A and B are shown apart, each in its own frame.
Chain A
């Protein structure tokens, strides 16, 4: 093992060419995953509400669309949005936008089902109570159901973020200088230390995702506790 190849390139692996050039490395991985996490949360919320509140042909179309994004390999989706969007629509999306779009669509499609399940898990009694108070269906959703459902779903949003951190590594295939890509660059330059470089990069991802995982566990525990407490006071 020759760890010098890691320490010599540590700055490049962490922030890329920044501040003399565009930001990259681990910092870009965090930016990409944060952005796609936000967009996928919004998408997932909207689509999930759509899924829970719609019926008939509208719902079938939605299910079909969501199915597409759940079935396509992200790699293929990145190729599509990167190479074909510009040709089809004449718009050139910057690479980072391409990655965020692809990841957010897939992440949103997965989250949508979680959101829909969260909404459906709120008992029909709550719906009935809201409607009896004279609220409309959408008002009940907004005022009564969503706040509860969202609290229960916070862990799954964070879980999705962990998945996205890992998936940003796919930006490698379109030359976006996130952590995996700069690692490949360093590997290509040093040539004979693939073990050191890729194991180190794996450890960085691992530390990041495990930390988030812990956070999710703490939050989930907190959520259980508060729900138990509120049940306790009601009794």
Chain B
């Protein structure tokens, strides 16, 4: 038993001491492994025609892979799996509507933000108009999101029910099991656009936080992080970031949303 512990400990130390650079590994393998959502249009979802994951996050991931000059391999994730995937080394980057927080920054590094949003709510029409009402409601959230933590902290009397992914929470809302669901505003806008009976629902015009979305990067991979940041800044400067944004939230999309945030303004 003691030998097993010694072995485990030695392995831990060697992992900590290893100076292997992730960027070199990516180049050597020729593949950038990225975790993105598979059920959250327009950030990441399975495109019915191609059966591949597509979306705003995937476009940014593709730009990063192109910059390194390797193939992009997107694997599906849900909110709660994002950090374990990164810390256990199963993916190189997480681009999955990942809100930058201090707590998370202790476990991993973030890029500069490439998107911004606020935590909002989706409810049946007429049930919710101001944050004061939240305390009495049953509210669906996604496991492992900042939304869930913020809601529990700031509205202790609300009953939080956590689901694996936003559409599950929406099904619960539709079935009447919860009275509202919470997520980042743009994600809710994207979700509502896909709902067949969307006239029965609304996103009340208030938000209880403002969040910046960044790329999740393994801790201490400075070269990889610099490369991601440079790529994002260049996308902002060249206008490509705006093109990606318009592709998913532009005036001609299912979920038009004015673009208020620009990469590089909040470094």
Contacts and interface: CB of A to CB of B under 8 A. Distances in A.
Given A175-B77, A189-B46, 7 more contacts: A16-B51, A86-B88, A90-B11, A184-B165, A188-B165, A188-B167, A194-B171
B221 to A, nearest CB: 16
A152 interface: no
Contacts of A189: 39, 41, 45-46, 48, 167, 194
A175 B194 contact: no
A73 to B, nearest CB: 17
Contacts of B46: 12, 17, 185, 189
A90 B51 contact: no
Contacts of B76: 175, 177, 185
Contacts of A125: none
B51 A17 contact: yes
Interface in B84-131: 84, 87-90
Interface in B29-45: 38-39, 41, 45
Contacts of B12: 87-88, 90
A144 B112 CA distance: 70
B51 A83 contact: no
Interface residues of A, number: 28
Contact of B50 (A8, A20, A92, A184): A20
Nearest to A15: B51
Nearest to B78: A175
A123 interface: no
A4 to B, nearest CB: 12
A87 B88 contact: yes
A83 B52 contact: no
Interface string A155-185: 0000000000000000001110100000011
Contacts of B41: 189
Nearest to B175: A194
B197 interface: yes
B40 to A, nearest CB: 8
Interface string A88-129: 111010010000000000000000000000000000000000
A215 interface: no
Contact of A20 (B51, B87, B166, B168): B51
Contacts of A173: 164
A191 B167 contact: yes
B15 A90 contact: yes
A12 B196 CA distance: 22
Contacts of B39: 184-185, 188-189
A177 B76 CA distance: 9
